């Protein structure tokens, strides 16, 4: 055989290599086909696990193993042509993207291991729920993961940190909780993290500093705690950093100055302290700096002037001191400057006139002094200028007339002098002008009547004189005119008489005059009119029945005469009616009893006569009734007992006769009662002693007789009493008000006695004197015997206790505490009873339907709220069991914490954490407290309430339905964080059986369908949530407004939102205003008549956490009807 030639060897090797390559290709092809088939099966299996709806079914119709590709891959099943699927050149799935596809289901059946080549996984804006599976860490090639805007909950799995190729991570707008995994720093390729609007807690891991490629980091709207780590300064590529609306503390790290690429920085809505670091001035790329609503102190650093690209600067709502730095004038790109609600002093720097692009300037609510600079007139782009509530002085500069784009100007609450300039009339775009509470003099310039866009003109509390301009409403748009507490004279101008757009007209405290029946016109949208303390005369006519939206009418202290027109009863929206101190005669019209929303009625100091009509007792919302100093006669009507909310009742100085009706004692809310200077006789009814909230009590100058009932001992709230000039006798009640009453409050009675230094001591009755002597002797003799007996008895007790130590007790007391107490339950029980002096009324802080609440301060320094059940059997016991059942399994930061309970033969009670600020209704009814509850805090109250309800409805199994969500049952801690309490009416939602129960709830908060059905579902809580939400922003119960809206608002119902908001607060501005509008829209959606039309709490939570869209019209023009009519966000 011939030897192998080199040529043959090479040829043979080539053939062998070709064979190997063909074999490998066939093997790879077979593997690829197998892998493709596995991917298709995995996708179909996941599709089959979803909660199918018509939209999803239609969208995923192509996801079918029967669909084949006949032109490639040997006829194997391939998903490459399916909707939302992209494959690589080898047919392997690299992209699964189904955004906004209405998918509903979990990820637990998604086999991540079946997709070895997957690069992108996107399920943005669906309804996926459940947790993120830990085996998502098998997607080792993944570069983009978008699970944002779903309903996912649970922790972020630590395995997500195995996705080391990941560049984009979006988990925003879900319900994820727990901490950010500390291993997050392993994802060194990450460029974007969106985790905003979740329930993430814990601190920001320091390993985040390893993400050197990160350009966007959004962790806002979570519950993240701790400080911002110093390592944040290592993220040199960062362009946007959002951590707002968390619970961050500590100071802003100086390392933040290293982020040279940073354009947007949002740290607002936290509890960050300390000064703004000067290093902030190194962020030369910054366009937005939001640090508002923190606890920042110190001064604004001068280095802020280096931020030449800055367009928005908001530092409002902090504790910043010092002056506004002159360097602020270097921010030539600035459009928005918000420094209000701080403690800034000094004067406004002249350099502010350099900010030619500025559109909004608000430095209100500070301590700024000095004049308003002439340079302010250089800001030609300005639309909003708020300098309110400072200490500015001097004149209004003439240059202000240059601000031709200005829509809102507020200078109220300063010390500005001089006159209102004619130049104001050049501000042709002006909508809002507020000059209240200054020291302005002179008259209103006629040029103001030329402002054709003017809607709101407020000039109250100045020293203005002269006449109201004739042309004040020539534009036909004026809605609010307030000029009270000045020295205007003359009559109401004709342009006001014909101003049908008018909604609020207040000119109280002037020297205006004229015939009231001729001065006023028809105002279909009028809701507020105050003409008090002027010199108007004439009579009230039938015209007053033609104001369907009127809520407040005050014409007190004028010279108006004649009879009260019955037509007043047609003004069905009236809340306050004050006609006092005039010259009215005749009887009180019974038609006033039709005013079901009336809560203040003041007719005092007139010449009204005859009886009080019984219909007045039908005004069930009445809180103040003052009929003093008239000529009313007859008996006090017993029907007043139906005015169960009455706080102040004044019938002084009339001619009422007969007995005091015992039904007055049923007015359990009454705080002030004055029946003095009448012709009342007879004995004092026992029932008056039940008025446990009564503070002032005047019965003087009547003909009352007999002794003072023993029940008066229980009037523990009483601070002032006057029973002089009657025929009363016997001992005084044993409480502070009576024992400390001055002589003048007790004089001229028949024979009062007691432990008051102004009257004699009560004598010991004759028949008891011998008993006293015998008693003294017996006591003296017995002392020695008792001492001996005690010694013997102690020895016997000790012996008996030893004998019975192991015997079971026949009467068992159950005392259960869930916390780690320093002593046992029995000791705690004894200490609670001792600290409340056996539940004495002086420790009582509230009374509910099922029990009274007491404040118990233990010797450990701990303070608790203890609810002791009423002793009325079944109802209280059921509520007791319900609270224990719910609160032992409900754990949420916005639900009241139950520390323990006691079931005892004598005392049964529940022990809760003590809420320092008390109930929401208590705060809103206190003017000082209500003003402390400013808009940001109120927004957080609504969010906290929504979080708690969301937890009850969606995270508890079975779901908990509260059934009695009211402002009284929302408690606030010292951080004004909301906590839902009182679960006595709560029930669980059983999907397997009927959910019909007896009625529970509070009128005014209960859903309307409960009038005809007892079926319980989550929508009844949503209605109550809507009522409470409105109460938060209105500052009072919204019953009147709801009545106006339901079942549907009238076509001409056009009340402005800002006019129904709590008037004790300054109107909300910019972002806060947007949030208030959003919250109002949510509230109105929850109040829809049909339960099916109301949103779920999930939808509410999503709405609360969705970015607020810019409004198409200014806040002050938004109407209630607009928001009620279009809840388009409910899907």
Residue identified by tokens 């701790």 is 226
Report the chain's mean pLDDT, rounded to a whole number. 86
Percent of the chain whose predicted confidence (pLDDT) is above 70 = 86
Lowest mean pLDDT among 28-42, 244-258, 677-691, 700-714: 28-42
Token pair of 164 as six digits: 């080391």
- At 889 the pLDDT is 74
Q: What is the pLDDT of residues 481-506, one digit of tens each?
A: 999 999 999 999 998 988 989 999 99
Q: Per DSSP, what are the bridge partners of residue 404?
A: none
Q: Model confidence at 828, in pLDDT bands (50, 70, 90)?
A: confident
Q: Model confidence at 72, in pLDDT bands (50, 70, 90)?
A: very low
Integer Cα distance of 1027 and 1029 in angstroms: 5
Integer Cα distance of 10 and 1 in angstroms: 19
Strands, E assignment, 294-417: 312-314, 336-338, 360-362, 369-371, 384-386, 391-394, 408-410, 415-416
The active-site residue, picked from 220, 578, 964, 982, is 964
Q: Model confidence at 826, in pLDDT bands (50, 70, 90)?
A: low
Architecture of the CATH domain 635-763: Alpha-Beta Horseshoe (3.80)
Q: Per DSSP, what are the bridge partners of residue 631?
A: 609
Would the pLDDT of 1052 be above 80? no
Residue 103's contacts (CB-CB under 8 Å, 6 or more residues apart) are: 50, 56, 123, 126, 127, 128
Q: What is the dihedral of CA 259, 260, 262, 263, to 10 degrees?
A: 160
Integer Cα distance of 356 and 332 in angstroms: 7
Q: What is the pLDDT of residues 518-549, one digit of tens each?
A: 888 888 899 999 999 999 999 998 888 888 89
Residue 26's contacts (CB-CB under 8 Å, 6 or more residues apart) are: none
Integer Cα distance of 890 and 983 in angstroms: 11
Pairing between β-strand 93-97 and β-strand 85-87 as defined by DSSP bridges: antiparallel
Would the pLDDT of 819 be above 60? no
Cα angle vertex 471, ends 469, 474, to 5°? 150
Give kind and range of the element (H or E) at residue 24: helix 6-49
Token pair of 288 as six digits: 């937005």
Would the pLDDT of 801 be above 50? no
Q: What is the pLDDT of residues 440-479, one digit of tens each?
A: 999 999 999 889 999 999 999 999 999 999 888 877 889 9
Integer Cα distance of 65 and 40 in angstroms: 7
Token pair of 881 as six digits: 């069991």
Sheet with 970-972: strands ordered across: 918-919, 970-972, 978-980
Residue identified by tokens 């501005």 is 1069
Nearest to 906 by CA among 824, 813, 844, 834: 813
Pairing between β-strand 648-650 and β-strand 624-626 as defined by DSSP bridges: parallel
Cβ-contact 145, 170 below 8 angstroms: yes
Q: Per DSSP, what are the bridge partners of residue 289?
A: 265, 313
Nearest to 763 by CA among 751, 775, 773, 774: 751
Would the pLDDT of 675 be above 90? yes
725-733, Cβ contacts within 8 angstroms, sequence gap of 24 or more:
725/700, 725/701, 725/749, 726/699, 726/700, 726/701, 726/702, 726/750, 727/703, 728/684, 728/704, 728/752, 729/705, 730/706, 730/762, 731/707, 731/762, 732/708, 732/756, 732/759, 733/708
Looking at domain 919-1125, which of 3.40.640.10, 3.30.470.20, 1.10.510.10, 1.10.1740.10 is its CATH number? 1.10.510.10
For residue 192, the SS3 value is strand
Task: State yes or no: cis peptide before 67, omega within 30 of 0.
Answer: no
- Is there a shared CATH topology between the 635-763 domain and the 814-913 domain? no
Percent of the chain whose predicted confidence (pLDDT) is above 90 = 62
In Å, how far are 434, 445, 496, 782, 989 from 508, measured between CA atoms? 17, 20, 15, 76, 55
Lowest mean pLDDT among 686-695, 825-834, 1025-1034: 825-834
> Residue 1076's CB: how many other CB atoms inside 10 A?
24
> Does the predicted TM-score (pTM) go above 0.75?
no
Cβ-contact 518, 537 below 8 angstroms: no
Token pair of 574 as six digits: 């009236």
Residue identified by tokens 């009675």 is 749
Task: State yes or no: cis peptide before 958, omega within 30 of 0.
Answer: yes
Residue 46's contacts (CB-CB under 8 Å, 6 or more residues apart) are: 109, 110, 111
Buried-exposed string 122-153: b where 16+ CB fall within 10 A, e elsewhere: bbbbbbbbebbbeebbbbeebbbbbbbbbbbb
Integer Cα distance of 703 and 705 in angstroms: 6
Mean pLDDT confidence for 321-342 = 96
Token pair of 245 as six digits: 């609306």
In Å, how far are 476, 824, 865, 1006 from 820, measured between CA atoms? 69, 9, 18, 38
Out of 63-72, 182-191, 706-715, 1036-1045, give the one with best mean pLDDT. Answer: 182-191
Strands, E assignment, 570-664: 576-578, 583-586, 600-602, 607-610, 624-626, 631-634, 648-650, 655-658
Mean pLDDT confidence for 818-828 = 51
- At 791 the pLDDT is 43
Q: Model confidence at 841, in pLDDT bands (50, 70, 90)?
A: confident
Looking at domain 814-913, which of 3.40.50.720, 3.30.200.20, 1.10.287.610, 3.30.460.20 is its CATH number? 3.30.200.20
Cβ-contact 617, 644 below 8 angstroms: no
Q: What is the pLDDT of residues 958-975, one digit of tens each?
A: 888 888 899 999 999 888
Q: Model confidence at 884, in pLDDT bands (50, 70, 90)?
A: confident
- At 474 the pLDDT is 79
- At 992 the pLDDT is 43
Integer Cα distance of 104 and 126 in angstroms: 7
If 0-12 CB within 10 Å is exposed, 13-18 middle and 19+ buried, where does residue 810 land? exposed
If 0-12 CB within 10 Å is exposed, 13-18 middle and 19+ buried, where does residue 797 land? exposed
Integer Cα distance of 313 and 361 in angstroms: 10
Token pair of 252 as six digits: 């802003």
Mean pLDDT confidence for 319-332 = 96
Integer Cα distance of 352 and 336 in angstroms: 12
Mean pLDDT confidence for 1060-1084 = 87
Residue 964 designated active-site: yes
Cα angle vertex 750, ends 744, 751, to 5°? 85
Between 865 and 799, the more confident residue is: 865
Q: Model confidence at 1112, in pLDDT bands (50, 70, 90)?
A: low
- At 508 the pLDDT is 95
For residue 898, the SS3 value is strand
- At 764 the pLDDT is 65
Lowest mean pLDDT among 240-244, 433-437, 906-910: 906-910
Integer Cα distance of 1014 and 1004 in angstroms: 17
Would the pLDDT of 786 be above 50? no
Q: Model confidence at 629, in pLDDT bands (50, 70, 90)?
A: very high
Cβ-contact 257, 279 below 8 angstroms: yes
Residue identified by tokens 């709207």 is 221
- At 34 the pLDDT is 45
Q: Model confidence at 799, in pLDDT bands (50, 70, 90)?
A: very low
Would the pLDDT of 194 be above 70? yes
Token pair of 866 as six digits: 């203890």
Give kind and range of the element (H or E) at residue 1026: helix 1018-1034
The three-state (H, E, C) secondary structure of 444-504, written as one string: CCHHHHHCCCCCEEECCCCEECCECCCCCCCCCCCCEEECCCCCCEECCCHHHHCCCCCCE
Integer Cα distance of 266 and 1055 in angstroms: 35
Cβ-contact 238, 215 below 8 angstroms: yes
Token pair of 751 as six digits: 């024979």
Q: What is the pLDDT of residues 580-594, one digit of tens each?
A: 999 999 999 999 999
Q: What is the pLDDT of residues 374-404, one digit of tens each?
A: 999 999 999 999 999 999 999 999 999 999 9
Integer Cα distance of 118 and 228 in angstroms: 34
Give kind and range of the element (H or E) at residue 681: strand 679-683
**Could you tell me the end-to-end alpha-carbon distance of the chain, in angstroms, rounded to an integer?**
89
Lowest mean pLDDT among 59-73, 245-259, 446-460: 59-73
> What does the domain layout of the chain look like in residue ranges?
10-112, 635-763, 764-800, 814-913, 919-1125
**Helix intervals (H) in 993-1118:** 1018-1034, 1039-1045, 1057-1060, 1070-1086, 1097-1105
Cβ-contact 340, 364 below 8 angstroms: yes
Token pair of 790 as six digits: 């005690």
Between 464 and 1065, the more confident residue is: 464
Phi and psi at 100, nearest 5°, equal 50, 50
């Amino acid at each position: 055989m011939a030897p192998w030639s080199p040529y043959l060897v090479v040829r043979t090797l080539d053939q062998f290599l070709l064979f190997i390559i063909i074999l490998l290709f066939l093997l790879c092809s077979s593997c690829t086909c197998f892998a493709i088939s596995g991917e298709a099966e995995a996708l179909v299996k996941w599709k089959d696990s979803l909660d199918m709806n018509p939209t999803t079914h239609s969208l995923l119709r192509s996801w079918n193993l029967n669909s084949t590709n006949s032109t490639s891959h040997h006829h194997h099943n391939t998903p490459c042509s399916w909707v939302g699927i992209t494959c690589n050149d080898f047919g392997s799935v690299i992209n699964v993207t189904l955004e906004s596809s209405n998918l509903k289901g979990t990820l637990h059946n998604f086999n991540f291991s079946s997709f070895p080549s997957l690069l992108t996984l996107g399920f943005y804006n669906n309804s996926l729920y459940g947790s993120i599976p830990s085996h998502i860490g098998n997607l080792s090639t993944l570069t983009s993961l978008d699970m944002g805007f779903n309903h996912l909950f649970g922790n972020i799995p630590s395995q997500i940190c195995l996705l080391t190729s990941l560049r984009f991570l979006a988990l925003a707008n879900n319900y994820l909780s727990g901490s950010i995994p500390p291993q997050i720093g392993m994802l060194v390729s990450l460029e974007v993290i969106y985790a905003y609007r979740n329930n993430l807690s814990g601190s920001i891991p320091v390993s985040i500093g390893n993400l050197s490629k990160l350009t966007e980091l959004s962790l806002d709207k979570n519950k993240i705690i701790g400080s911002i780590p110093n390592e944040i300064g290592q993220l040199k590529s960062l362009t946007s950093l959002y951590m707002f609306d968390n619970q961050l503390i500590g100071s802003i790290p100086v390392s933040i100055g290293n982020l040279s690429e940073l354009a947007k920085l949002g740290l607002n809505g936290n509890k960050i302290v300390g000064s703004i670091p000067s290093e902030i001035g190194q962020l030369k790329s910054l366009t937005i700096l939001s640090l508002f609503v923190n606890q920042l102190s110190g001064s604004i650093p001068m280095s802020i002037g280096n931020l030449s690209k800055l367009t928005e600067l908001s530092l409002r709502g902090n504790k910043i001191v010092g002056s506004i730095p002159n360097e602020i004038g270097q921010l030539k790109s600035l459009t928005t400057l918000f420094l209000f609600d701080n403690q800034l002093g000094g004067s406004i720097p002249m350099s502010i006139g350099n900010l030619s692009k500025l559109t909004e300037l608000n430095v209100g609510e500070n301590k700024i002094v000095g004049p308003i600079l002439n340079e302010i007139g250089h800001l030609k782009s300005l639309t909003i200028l708020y300098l309110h509530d400072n200490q500015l002085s001097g004149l209004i500069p003439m240059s202000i007339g240059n601000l031709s784009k200005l829509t809102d100007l507020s200078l109220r609450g300063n010390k500005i002098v001089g006159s209102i300039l004619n130049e104001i009339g050049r501000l042709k775009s002006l909508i809002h002008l507020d000059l209240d509470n200054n020291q302005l003099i002179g008259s209103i310039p006629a040029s103001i009547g030329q402002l054709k866009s003017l809607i709101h003109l407020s000039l109250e509390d100045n020293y203005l004189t002269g006449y109201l301009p004739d042309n004040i409403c020539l534009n036909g748009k004026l809605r609010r005119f307030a000029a009270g507490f000045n020295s205007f004279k003359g009559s109401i101008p004709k342009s006001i008489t014909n101003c049908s757009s008018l909604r609020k007209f207040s000119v109280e405290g002037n020297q205006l005059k004229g015939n009231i029946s001729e001065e006023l016109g028809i105002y279909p949208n009028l809701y507020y009119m105050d003409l008090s303390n002027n010199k108007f005369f004439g009579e009230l006519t039938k015209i007053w029945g033609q104001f369907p939206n009127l809520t407040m009418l005050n014409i007190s202290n004028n010279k108006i005469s004649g009879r009260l027109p019955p037509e007043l009863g047609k003004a069905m929206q009236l809340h306050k009616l004050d006609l006092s101190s005039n010259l009215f005669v005749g009887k009180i019209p019974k038609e006033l009893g039709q005013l079901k929303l009336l809560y203040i009625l003041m007719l005092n100091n007139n010449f009204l006569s005859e009886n009080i009509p019984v219909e007045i007792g039908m005004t069930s919302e009445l809180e103040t009734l003052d009929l003093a100093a008239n000529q009313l006669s007859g008996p006090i009507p017993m029907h007043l007992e139906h005015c169960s909310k009455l706080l102040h009742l004044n019938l002084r100085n009339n001619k009422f006769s007969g007995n005091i009706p015992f039904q007055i004692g049923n007015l359990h809310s009454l705080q002030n009662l004055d029946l003095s200077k009448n012709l009342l006789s007879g004995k004092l009814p026992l029932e008056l002693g039940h008025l446990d909230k009564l503070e002032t009590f005047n019965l003087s100058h009547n003909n009352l007789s007999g002794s003072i009932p023993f029940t008066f001992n229980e009037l523990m709230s009483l601070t002032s009493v006057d029973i002089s000039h009657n025929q009363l006798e016997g001992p005084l009640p044993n409480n502070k008000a009576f024992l400390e009453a001055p002589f003048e409050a007790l004089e001229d009675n028949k024979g009062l006695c007691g432990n008051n230094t102004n009257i004699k001591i009560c004598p010991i009755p004759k028949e008891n004197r011998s008993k006293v002597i015998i008693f003294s002797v017996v006591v003296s003799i017995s002392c020695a015997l008792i001492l001996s007996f005690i010694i013997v008895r102690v020895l016997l007790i000790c012996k008996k206790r030893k004998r019975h130590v192991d015997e079971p007790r026949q009467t068992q007391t159950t005392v259960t505490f869930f916390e780690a107490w320093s002593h046992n339950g029995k000791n705690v029980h004894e200490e609670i009873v001792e600290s409340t002096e056996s539940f004495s009324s002086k420790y009582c802080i509230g009374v509910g339907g099922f029990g009274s609440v007491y404040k118990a301060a233990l010797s450990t320094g701990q303070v608790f709220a203890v609810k002791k059940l009423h002793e009325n059997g079944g109802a209280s016991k059921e509520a007791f069991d319900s609270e224990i059942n719910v609160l032992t399994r409900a754990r949420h930061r916005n639900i009241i914490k139950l520390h323990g309970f006691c079931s005892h033969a004598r005392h049964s009670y529940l022990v809760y954490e003590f809420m320092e600020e008390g109930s929401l209704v208590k705060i809103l009814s206190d003017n000082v407290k209500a003003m402390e509850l400013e808009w940001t805090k109120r927004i957080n109250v609504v969010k906290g309430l929504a979080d708690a309800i969301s937890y009850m409805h969606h995270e508890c199994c079975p779901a908990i339905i509260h059934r009695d969500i009211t402002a009284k049952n929302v408690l606030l801690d010292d951080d004004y964080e909301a906590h839902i309490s009182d679960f006595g009416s709560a029930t669980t939602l059983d999907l397997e059986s009927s959910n019909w129960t007896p009625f529970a709830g509070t009128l005014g908060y209960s859903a309307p369908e409960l009038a005809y059905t007892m079926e319980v579902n989550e929508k009844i809580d949503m209605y109550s949530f809507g009522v409470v939400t409105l109460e938060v922003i209105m500052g009072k119960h919204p019953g009147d407004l709801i009545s106006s809206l339901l079942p549907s608002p009238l076509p001409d119902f056009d009340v402005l939102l800002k006019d129904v908001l709590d008037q004790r607060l300054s109107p909300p501005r910019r972002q806060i205003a947007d949030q208030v509008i959003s919250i109002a829209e949510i509230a109105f959606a929850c109040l829809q008549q049909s339960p099916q039309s109301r949103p779920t709490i999930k939808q509410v939570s999503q709405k609360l956490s969705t970015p607020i869209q810019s409004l198409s019209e200014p806040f002050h023009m938004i109407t209630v009807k607009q928001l009620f009519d279009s809840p388009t966000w409910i899907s």
